[in-house]
Amino acid sequence: MRRSDLPPVFRRAAGLALAAALALPLVACSPSTSSTPAASTPAITDVILASTTSTQDSGLFDVLIPAFEAANPTFKIKVVAVGSGEAITLGKNKDADVLLVHSPAAETSLVANGFGTDRKPVMYNDFLIVGPASDPAKIKGDVSAVDAFTKIAASKSFFVSRGDNSGTFTKEVSLWTSATVDPKGKPWYLSTGQGMGETLKIADEKLGYTLVDRATWLTNKDKDPDLTLLLEGDKKLFNPYHVILIPGAKNEAGGKAFEDWIVGADGQKVIGEFGVAKYGQQIFVPNAGASS
């Protein structure tokens, strides 16, 4: 029986069978497809770094973070720059993966209570006392920060404080305590509740004294022309920074990668070189491996 004599339904079936048969050689001759899946691009995850306004305002993160991300392309650092006290609270609440802070007593308490771990030295600089060139409290030439604070209080010279929960404010409070002075409520004492850059600006406007970390002073002094450096070098003004991991954080692996890098040779080199060409001195001195 010829194909044309078949009922329509059978003619269609025969046509499909013929098409399938003709396709088989084409399939056999076509290049084989690999069963190996294509390599996927590694996912990039955010790492929340809670740190201080001094590290942010100094410009250190502008060079430090790109260097870390170039060496660790699967991690992207997001900085939350606040006072050390607030940064430590973020860590305690697991709203940060890693901390870089400078408030030693609060740091050790965080670790002792199980909210932080693996606290390591990273770098240090120092605090300075700056004020108006007229120096009404006559502290220029002093070597003791406590004596300088005593003179400022005795002369009722204007003093501008951060008044926040930062490492700088914690240091200021310790100096007032050593000077046996309680400045709260005094008409010559102004608490800004703001970061170091803004506090310097207000001290400049009010012709007042203030306590400032060296990094923020060097990178902001040209903006505050009526302030001058009056006291430095006292051992009590030492200002160490530590990195701390947060156990149970959302990105523990990212936090650990950042810690390992910043205390390693590459991170320490970036820190040691930062600001030298512009200011002729180290803004932060790397000290990984030092005693905490």
- Indicate the domain borders of the chain: 45-125+240-286, 127-237
CATH topology of domain 45-125+240-286: D-Maltodextrin-Binding Protein; domain 2 (3.40.190)
**Separation between Cα atoms, residue 137 and residue 155, nearest integer Å:** 6
Whether 11 has a pLDDT exceeding 80, the answer reads no
DSSP conformation class of 8:
H
Predicted TM-score of the model (pTM): 0.82
Q: How confident is the model at residue 26 (pLDDT cuts 50, 70, 90)?
A: very low
pLDDT at 292: 65
pLDDT at 159: 98
| Least confident range of 38-47, 81-90, 249-258 | 38-47
* CB-CB contact of 244 with 107 (8 Å): yes
Pairing of strands 210-213, 285-286: unpaired
CATH architecture of 127-237: 3-Layer(aba) Sandwich (3.40)
Q: What is the CA radius of gyration of the chain?
A: 31
Q: How confident is the model at residue 39 (pLDDT cuts 50, 70, 90)?
A: low
Domains 45-125+240-286 and 127-237 share a fold: yes
CB atoms near residue 40 (< 10 Å):
6
Q: What angle do CA 67, 245, 171 make, to 5 degrees?
A: 90
Mean pLDDT (the chain, rounded):
88
Find the mean pLDDT for residues 223-249. Answer: 96
Torsion of CA 237, 56, 90, 88, to 10 degrees: -10
